C-alpha cells in the first residue's frame, strides 16, 4: 500500500512539468476561448497572458493564436483533444506578439497549415532573434528558431478558409496594433475574433500605427457583431459599446499629442504630460502608457 | 537599536557591490574606448563644460531622448569644438561626433539614441584649445540595438529622406536660436537581421549631417547606428541676418553592424529653411 502511494507520488512529480489541459470556454457554438490574465509577461506566468483558442468545423479545427510559451501551446492542443476528435487543419496567428505565437510548435505537423498576415513572416524574421534572446531572461522560457514558425499561407486583404460547413473570413488589416494584424470572422455565429485590435481593461498597446488603428476601428464599429473576442479582456456581447474606452484612449492620445507637436513641444515633455487623465481606467497603465506616447509621437511628428 | 544599526549596515554592504557594478562600470571605457579614441591623451572629468540629461530608466530602449547641455557660451576665443557621444556598452558604442562653431551660439544638442543594455552614456567635449572634458550619465535600458525596426516599417521606408526644420521658438537676430531638424530614416542597425530569410539585409543609417546657415557651418555630425530611427536633432545657431538654413544628409550601408570596413555610400538628401525675421 505504501509502495503504491509512493509510486503515485513519483508519477505525479514526473508529470508535474508536462502540459496540463488548458481551461477553455465555449463562447459561441464551436468557438472555444481561454481567457488570459492582465499581467506583464514575466518569469511567473511565462508569457501566457493572452486570450487564445480554437474554432471547430465539421471536418477540422482552426487554432487561433497558440499562446505565450511552447507549453501553453501543448496545453491548448490537449484542450482541443478534449473538446473534439477532429484534427487541426489551420493555425492562425493574429499578429507577431510573443503571447500569441510562442505555442506554434505544438501544432507543427503534416496537414496543418499556418496562416498569417502577409507581413507576419517579415515581422517574425526581424524580431525573432530578439524575441528568442529575451524569452530566456524575461519569461524563463527556452526558445529556439524552431519555435518561431512563419505562415505557410500569407493573407493579403482577405481569405476564406473552410473547416467543413464553416467558413472563416480572414481580413489582413493595415498597420494598427502592429503592422501585421489579422482578424477572423465566423459567419455562422456572427463572431469576430478581433484579437489585439481590441483591449478591454488592459491598456491598449501601440506597436503599429495610432492613426491606422483608429481607422480600422472606425470600419469595424459599423458592423453589429454578435460576439467579439478581444486579445485581452472579457468576451464582448455588446459591440461596439465595449470598444469605446479603447477608442477614447487612442483618440485622446491623437488629439493631445497633435496639439503638443503643433505647439512645438518635444517628446520628452509629451511623455510626462499626455494622457494621464486615463490612468485610473486601465490596468497596466504605468507599464505601457509612456511607451504608447513615445510610439505615437514618433508617428505623428511625420504627419503631412 | 544596536541590532538594527548592524543590520542596515550589513544591508548596505550587501547592496553596495551591486550598485557599484551597475552605476559605475567603467570597464568598457578604461579597457577599450579610451584607447580607441583618446590614446595617450588626458581627459578631465567634470560637469562644468557639458552635462548629459537622460532618463534614468528608458521607456523605449530604441528611442532614448538625451540632451547635451553646454555650460559655457560659444565665443570666437573659447568654444566647444566637438562633442563625441558614446554608449559605452553598446555593441558599437559610437553614437556620433558633433562639431560646433562659434556661430552655434550654444553647443547644446538634443537627440534620440539606442541603448542596448544598462550603460553609461559618455560625452567628451573638445575645446578649441584642444582641452578634453568628459561627462557621463548612467541609463537603464535594454535591447535598443536589436529591437524590432519601427512599428510601421513600410511607412518609414516610403518617407525615407524626407526632412523638416522647425523653429518653434521664433527667430531673433544676433542671439542663439533653437532649431529642430527631423530626418525621416529608419536608421537600420543591421542587428535585426534574420540570417535565414535576410528580410533586412544590412545596416542602413545616416552617416553625416551638415547644417549650415548662409553656408557657414553650424553643426556637422558624423553619426552611426546608435542614433534612433527618424533622427531628430535640436541645436542652436546665431543668425546675423536673414538667410537660409540648410541641412545636407547622407547615408550608408555596411556589411556588418559593428565594423565600418566594408560600407557602401548611399544617398544624399537636403532641406532648406528660409529665415525671414
Domain membership of residue B3 (yes or no) is no
User: Model pTM?
Assistant: 0.88
Residues of A in contact with B149 (CB under 8 A): 126
pLDDT for the residue B194: 56
Mean pLDDT of chain A: 93
pLDDT for the residue B257: 83
Contact A232, A277 (CB under 8 A): no
Domain membership of residue B228 (yes or no) is yes
- Cell, residue A101: 505565437
Residue A82 above 70 pLDDT? yes
Mutate to test the interface with A, among B148, B161, B183, B234 (most CBs of A within 10 A): B148
Mutate to test the interface with B, among A101, A134, A294, A303 (most CBs of B within 10 A): A294
- Cell, residue A234: 472579457
Least confident of A279-283, B157-161, B233-237: B157-161
Sign of CA dihedral A137, A140, A143, A149: negative
Angle at B134 between CA B132 and CA B138, to 5 degrees: 165
Domain count, chain B: 1
Give the residue from chain B lying closest to A180, CA to CA. B152
pLDDT for the residue B193: 59
- Cis bond upstream, residue A106 (ω within 30): no
Contact A101, A124 (CB under 8 A): yes
Domain membership of residue A131 (yes or no) is yes
What residues does B57 pair with on adjacent strands?
Answer: B140
Residue A34: give the domain boundaries: 17-241
- CA atoms within 13 Å, Cβ hemisphere of A288: 19
Three-state SS at B270 = strand
Supply the DSSP symbol for B103: G
Domain membership of residue B35 (yes or no) is no
Domain membership of residue A189 (yes or no) is yes
Q: Band of the pLDDT at B17, cuts 50, 70, 90? A: very low
Residue A170 above 80 pLDDT? yes
Among the listed residues B276, B51, B81, the one whose alpha carbon sits nearest the alpha carbon of residue B167: B276
ipTM of the predicted structure?
0.83
Domain membership of residue B205 (yes or no) is yes
Percent of the residues in chain A that have a pLDDT greater than 90, as a whole number? 88
Each residue's pLDDT tens digit, B59-94: 889 999 999 999 999 999 999 999 999 999 999 999
pLDDT for the residue A3: 43
Domain membership of residue B84 (yes or no) is yes
Residue A24 above 70 pLDDT? yes
Question: Among B168, B200, B229, whose Cβ lies nearest the Cβ of A264?
Answer: B168
pLDDT for the residue A2: 43
Residue A34 above 50 pLDDT? yes
pLDDT for the residue A13: 35
Which helix (H) or strand (E) segment holds residue A294: the answer is helix A285-300
pLDDT for the residue B80: 98
Contact B82, B122 (CB under 8 A): no
Domain membership of residue B19 (yes or no) is no
Q: How many CB atoms lie within 10 A of CB A164?
A: 13
State the smallest CA–CA distance between residue B117 and chain A in angstroms. 12
Contact A65, A95 (CB under 8 A): no
CA distance B203 to B191: 7
A-B contacts at Cβ under 8 angstroms: 88
Sign of CA dihedral B243, B211, B227, B97: negative
Inter-chain contact A264–B152, Cβ cutoff 8 Å? no
Inter-chain contact B230–A266, Cβ cutoff 8 Å? no
B151 vs B133, higher pLDDT:
B133
pLDDT for the residue A14: 34
Name the phi and psi angles at B151, rounded to 5: -45, -45
Domain membership of residue B72 (yes or no) is yes
Each residue's pLDDT tens digit, A140-158: 999 998 999 999 999 999 9
Among the listed residues B265, B28, B261, B236, the one whose alpha carbon sits nearest the alpha carbon of residue B138: B28
pLDDT for the residue B24: 58
Give the residue from chain A lying closest to B230, CA to CA. A298
Among the listed residues A257, A259, A248, the one whose alpha carbon sits nearest the alpha carbon of residue A214: A248
Residue B13 above 50 pLDDT? no
Domain membership of residue A150 (yes or no) is yes
- The domain that holds B196 is classified in CATH as 2.60.40.2470
Residue A5 above 50 pLDDT? no
pLDDT for the residue B259: 87
pLDDT for the residue A129: 80
Sign of CA dihedral A264, B152, A123, A126: negative
Contact A80, A107 (CB under 8 A): no
Domain membership of residue A247 (yes or no) is no
Sign of CA dihedral A221, A223, A225, A231: negative
Domain membership of residue A229 (yes or no) is yes
Mutate to test the interface with A, among B194, B234, B235, B271 (most CBs of A within 10 A): B194
- Cell, residue B18: 551591486
* Residues in contact with A301: Cβ distance below 8 Å, sequence separation at least 6, in sequence order: A261, A267, B182, B230, B232
Residue B274 above 90 pLDDT? yes
Inter-chain contact A134–B147, Cβ cutoff 8 Å? no
Residue B49 above 60 pLDDT? yes
Residue A87 above 60 pLDDT? yes
Residue A17 above 80 pLDDT? no
Residue A7 above 90 pLDDT? no
Residue B18 above 90 pLDDT? no
pLDDT for the residue B145: 78
Residue B158 above 90 pLDDT? no
A123 vs B111, higher pLDDT:
B111
Domain count, chain A: 1
Among the listed residues A277, A220, A284, the one whose alpha carbon sits nearest the alpha carbon of residue A253: A277
Each residue's pLDDT tens digit, B208-239: 999 999 999 999 999 999 999 999 999 999 99
Least confident of A9-23, A109-123, A253-267, B189-203: A9-23
Q: Band of the pLDDT at A171, cuts 50, 70, 90? A: very high
Q: What is the CA radius of gyration of chain B?
A: 20
* Residues in contact with B268: Cβ distance below 8 Å, sequence separation at least 6, in sequence order: B248, B249, B250
Q: Band of the pLDDT at A16, cuts 50, 70, 90? A: very low
pLDDT for the residue A11: 38
Domain membership of residue A283 (yes or no) is no
pLDDT for the residue A122: 86
How far is CA B9 from each of CA A9, A46, A261, rounded to the nearest angstrom?
Answer: 46, 36, 49
State the smallest CA–CA distance between residue B39 and chain A in angstroms. 35
Residue B194: give the domain boundaries: 43-275
Q: How many residues does chain A have?
A: 304
Residue with grid cell 595617450, as numbered in its chain? B40
Question: Among A263, A291, A299, whose Cβ lies nearest the Cβ of B59?
Answer: A291
Domain membership of residue B32 (yes or no) is no
Domain membership of residue A284 (yes or no) is no
Domain membership of residue A277 (yes or no) is no
Contact A201, A249 (CB under 8 A): no
Percent of the residues in chain A that have a pLDDT greater than 70, as a whole number? 94
Q: Band of the pLDDT at B19, cuts 50, 70, 90? A: very low
- The domain that holds A110 is classified in CATH as 3.60.15.10
Amino acid at each position: 500500500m505504501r509502495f503504491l502511494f509512493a509510486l503515485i507520488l513519483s508519477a505525479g512529480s514526473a508529470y508535474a512539468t508536462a502540459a496540463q489541459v488548458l481551461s477553455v470556454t465555449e463562447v459561441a457554438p464551436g468557438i472555444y476561448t481561454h481567457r488570459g490574465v492582465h499581467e506583464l509577461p514575466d518569469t511567473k506566468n511565462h508569457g501566457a497572458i493572452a486570450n487564445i483558442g480554437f474554432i471547430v468545423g465539421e471536418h477540422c479545427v482552426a487554432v487561433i493564436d497558440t499562446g505565450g510559451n511552447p507549453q501553453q501551446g501543448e496545453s491548448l492542443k490537449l484542450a482541443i483533444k478534449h473538446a473534439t476528435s477532429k484534427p487541426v487543419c489551420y493555425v492562425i496567428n493574429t499578429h507577431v506578439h510573443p503571447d500569441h505565437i510562442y505555442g506554434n510548435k505544438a501544432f507543427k505537423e503534416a496537414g496543418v497549415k499556418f496562416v498569417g498576415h502577409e507581413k507576419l513572416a517579415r515581422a517574425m524574421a526581424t524580431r525573432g532573434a530578439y524575441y528568442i534572446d529575451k524569452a530566456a531572461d524575461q519569461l524563463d522560457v527556452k526558445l529556439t528558431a524552431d519555435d518561431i514558425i512563419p505562415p505557410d499561407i500569407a493573407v493579403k486583404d482577405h481569405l476564406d478558409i473552410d473547416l467543413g460547413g464553416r467558413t472563416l473570413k480572414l481580413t489582413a488589416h493595415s498597420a494598427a496594433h502592429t503592422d501585421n494584424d489579422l482578424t477572423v470572422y465566423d459567419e455562422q455565429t456572427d463572431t469576430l475574433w478581433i484579437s489585439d485590435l481590441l483591449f478591454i481593461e488592459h491598456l491598449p498597446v501601440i506597436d503599429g500605427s495610432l492613426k491606422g488603428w483608429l481607422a480600422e476601428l472606425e470600419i469595424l464599429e459599423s458592423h453589429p457583431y454578435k460576439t467579439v473576442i478581444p486579445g485581452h479582456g472579457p468576451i464582448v456581447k455588446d459591440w461596439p459599446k465595449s470598444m469605446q474606452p479603447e477608442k477614447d484612449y487612442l483618440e485622446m492620445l491623437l488629439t493631445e499629442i497633435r496639439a503638443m507637436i503643433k505647439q512645438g513641444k518635444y517628446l520628452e515633455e509629451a511623455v510626462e504630460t499626455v494622457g494621464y487623465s486615463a490612468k485610473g481606467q486601465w490596468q497596466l497603465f504605468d507599464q505601457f502608457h509612456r511607451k504608447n506616447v513615445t510610439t505615437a509621437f514618433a508617428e505623428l511628428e511625420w504627419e503631412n | 537599536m544596536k541590532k538594527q544599526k548592524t543590520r542596515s549596515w550589513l544591508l548596505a554592504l550587501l547592496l553596495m557591490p551591486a550598485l557599484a557594478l551597475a552605476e559605475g562600470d567603467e570597464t568598457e571605457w578604461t579597457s577599450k574606448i579610451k584607447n580607441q579614441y583618446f590614446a595617450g591623451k588626458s581627459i578631465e572629468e567634470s560637469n562644468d563644460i557639458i552635462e548629459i540629461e537622460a532618463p534614468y530608466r528608458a521607456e523605449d530602449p530604441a528611442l532614448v531622448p538625451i540632451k547635451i547641455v553646454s555650460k559655457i557660451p560659444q565665443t570666437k576665443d573659447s568654444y566647444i569644438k566637438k562633442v563625441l557621444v558614446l554608449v559605452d556598452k553598446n555593441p558599437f558604442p559610437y553614437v556620433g561626433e558633433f562639431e560646433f562653431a562659434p556661430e552655434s551660439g550654444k553647443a547644446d544638442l538634443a537627440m534620440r539614441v539606442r541603448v542596448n543594455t544598462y550603460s553609461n552614456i559618455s560625452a567628451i567635449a573638445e575645446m578649441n584649445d584642444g582641452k578634453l572634458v568628459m561627462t557621463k550619465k548612467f541609463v537603464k535600458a535594454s535591447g535598443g540595438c536589436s529591437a524590432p525596426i519601427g512599428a510601421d516599417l513600410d511607412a518609414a521606408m516610403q518617407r525615407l529622406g524626407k526632412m523638416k526644420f522647425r523653429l518653434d521658438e521664433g527667430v531673433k537676430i544676433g542671439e542663439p536660436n533653437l532649431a529642430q531638424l527631423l530626418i525621416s530614416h529608419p536608421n537600420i542597425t543591421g542587428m535585426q537581421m534574420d540570417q535565414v530569410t535576410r528580410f533586412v539585409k544590412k545596416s542602413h543609417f545616416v552617416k553625416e549631417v551638415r547644417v549650415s546657415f548662409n553656408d557657414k557651418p553650424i553643426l556637422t555630425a558624423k553619426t552611426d547606428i546608435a542614433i534612433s530611427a527618424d533622427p531628430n536633432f535640436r541645436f542652436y545657431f546665431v543668425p546675423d541676418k536673414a538667410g537660409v538654413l540648410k541641412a545636407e544628409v547622407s547615408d550608408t550601408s555596411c556589411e556588418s553592424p559593428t565594423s565600418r570596413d566594408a560600407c557602401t555610400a548611399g544617398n544624399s538628401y537636403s532641406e532648406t529653411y528660409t529665415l525671414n525675421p
